[in-house]
Amino acid sequence: MIIIATHNVLSISERQRLSDYLIGKFEEIPTRKGIKKAILNNQVLVNDKLGITAQWVNLGDNIQLIEKKSTPPQDFDIDLEIPFEDDFLAVVVKPAGIPVSGNLFKTLYNALGENLKQSSQQDKLRWPLPIHRLDTATSGLVIIAKTHSVRVELGRMLEHKTIQKRYRAILQGTLIGKGIIESPIREKTAVSKFEVVENITTLKDTSLTLVDFYPITGRTHQLRIHASSIGHPIVGDKLYKEDTAMKTDKGLFLCAVEVQFIHPVTQELLKVEIAQPAKFESYLEREKRRVKKYS
């Protein structure tokens, strides 16, 4: 058992339940929702016994926040591209076709231990943890926490939308300029900005658009759904496509190419950027050559 933080009840002005009292007491978990989740996950001890949300807090109680039990990684041996790493966090490139985590062997989570250096900080995590997800079919940048405090702070930054992300995609059809898509997803607000990078003419009176996406919200499959909703599905998307979507055997043409945020420890602006995948270049060049050859 690893103790993350300890709190002693030295004074109490009114009788409170544990789930109410702990709000704001642990820097690692600042929200009511987070506190309740930690208690339900058996991460809170009161006088060395597991706490429950409805129990009363008493003067003199010793309350401890302990590390959540999680499954150890299984050492999936794959070389990852690591654009940034320090003693507190890392940004790695997830290949297309593998999930970030889950009940599988071939996951990004299982590959991290073989690719990242262990933190030397006192509150280091037993193993590095991704702080957000990418679709299995989507490639690109994923932020990894290496300490407890950085994991909490990065989670808070995600919640307050202060981590900016840019995705590169190839869409079917022609878009011009830039715009905002605000179609709700599963009855929840969803907002994505886009900016056209290049328009490409293809054979048979069709076209492609290379575009940058900037998700403002973070709904599951948001960019894929939004692209399809405006009649320009992402090339290679077999789930959210119109009947006329272009076919390809190269997978989904969507990649997280940039993340930008204030480093939780150094407080410096951290901007990590990678080039679009090689398959983007080869696919677009192939289409351009075909047009030139047959036009």
Residue 151, pLDDT > 60, answer yes
| Number of domains composing the chain | 3
If one compares 1 and 241, the residue with the highest pLDDT of the two is 241
Q: Characterize the bridge pairing of strands 139-147 and 254-262.
A: parallel
How far is CA 162 from each of CA 14, 88, 178, rounded to the nearest angstrom?
A: 36, 18, 22
The verdict on 145 and 180 lying in the same domain is: no
Nearest to 139 by CA among 190, 75, 81: 81
If one compares 224 and 287, the residue with the highest pLDDT of the two is 224
Nearest to 221 by CA among 171, 259, 185: 185
Nearest to 214 by CA among 165, 272, 163: 165
Q: Provide the domain limits for residue 122.
A: 70-160
Question: 29-85 pLDDT, tens per residue?
Answer: 878 888 999 999 899 999 999 999 999 999 999 999 987 776 788 899 999 999 999
Tell whether 128 is covered by a domain.
yes
Residue 204, pLDDT > 90, answer no
Mean pLDDT of all residues belonging to the chain: 91
User: CATH code at 21?
Assistant: 3.10.290.10
Q: CB-based burial of residue 100 (10 Å sphere; 0-12 exposed, 13-18 middle, 19+ buried)?
A: middle
Residue 1 to residue 265: CA distance in whole angstroms: 26
The verdict on 52 and 81 lying in the same domain is: no
The reported pLDDT for the residue numbered 163 is 97
Supply the Cα-derived Rg of the chain in whole angstroms.
23
Provide φ and ψ at 235, rounded to 5°: -60, 135
Beta bridge partners of residue 139, listed in sequence order: 255
Cβ-contact 94, 142 below 8 angstroms: yes
Domain ends where: 66, 93, 117?
A: 66
User: CATH code at 199?
Assistant: 3.30.2350.10
Domain ends where: 33, 66, 99?
A: 66
The verdict on 100 and 127 lying in the same domain is: yes
Strand arrangement, sheet containing 49-50: 3-8, 62-66, 44-46, 49-50
Domain ends where: 131, 160, 189?
A: 160
The reported pLDDT for the residue numbered 27 is 75
The verdict on 101 and 85 lying in the same domain is: yes
